[in-house]
Structure 1
């Protein structure tokens, strides 16, 4: 990930400590479960959504966070 090459960079999207400023409440719920390696089907069941809706939330969150998948998402949210 490019963020690792620019450790001194400070922008709102690189500060993942406050996802509330970047993502909607539902996007945060879905993102946190996805980052914990939960499959879309399980996330959908747990939140009472369709799998397609979960995947749509993930797509929007990926775009907002500048990542392209669950692995990058998990890396981004890792302490």
Structure 2
């Protein structure tokens, strides 16, 4: 499961932020692939999601977005 799928499952950015103990602004930036969570936050995501989200579910969508943004038009 991807991080975004998990956020959607728990009801959106604010509920996910509350569950994670993070600021909604941080969760929003991860959700929109504007930046990646630090490893400590990623580990927290994995644990709080009940291990439904894994490392690749967090970082692969962000890398995919980065590659698309850098691709020539």
The two structures have a TM-score, normalised by structure 2, of 0.39
Q: Normalising by structure 1, what TM-score?
A: 0.36
